[in-house]
């Protein structure tokens, strides 16, 4: 039998951003920020941890392309007047 289409997962589903972290992930983030010590604190009742999605920045536009794009726009404005 084949799998129903609603039950299939996407190929990158495991790499997507998740808002809810596992206990191990929360402990790892808290130890990085020095808010959790393994022998000192209990792993139960951990504080909330922010999970910020990192996005890639936009590429800066090249000045040559910006200068070339501005020149035709100026010509078009002159024709409208």
In a domain, 2, yes or no: no
Q: Do residues 46 and 23 make contact, with C-beta atoms less than 8 angstroms apart? A: yes
Residue 31's pLDDT is 93
**Within a domain: residue 38?**
yes
The Cα 59–Cα 80 span in angstroms is 33
Determine the pLDDT at residue 9: 76
Return per-residue pLDDT of the chain as tens, 81 residues: 888 888 887 776 667 777 888 899 999 999 999 999 888 888 888 888 888 877 777 878 777 655 565 556 555 555 555
Is the whole-model pTM more than 0.85?
no
| Assigned domain for 3 exists | no
Residue 80 inside a domain? The answer is no
Residues 6 or more apart whose Cβ sits within 8 Å of residue 27: 36, 43, 46
**Looking at the 3D structure of the chain, how many domains does it have?**
1
Per the domain annotation, does 42 fall within a domain? yes
pLDDT of residue 75: 58
The answer to whether residue 71 sits within a structural domain is no
| Structural domain range at position 39 | 18-56
**Does 27 map to a domain?**
yes
């Amino acid at each position: 039998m084949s799998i129903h289409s609603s039950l299939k997962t996407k190929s990158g589903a495991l790499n997507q951003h998740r808002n809810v972290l596992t206990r191990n992930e929360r402990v790892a983030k808290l130890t990085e920020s020095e808010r959790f010590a393994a022998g000192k604190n209990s792993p139960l009742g951990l504080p909330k941890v922010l999970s910020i999605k990192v996005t890639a920045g936009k590429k800066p536009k090249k000045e040559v392309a910006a200068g070339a794009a501005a020149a035709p726009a100026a010509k078009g404005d002159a024709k409208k007047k």
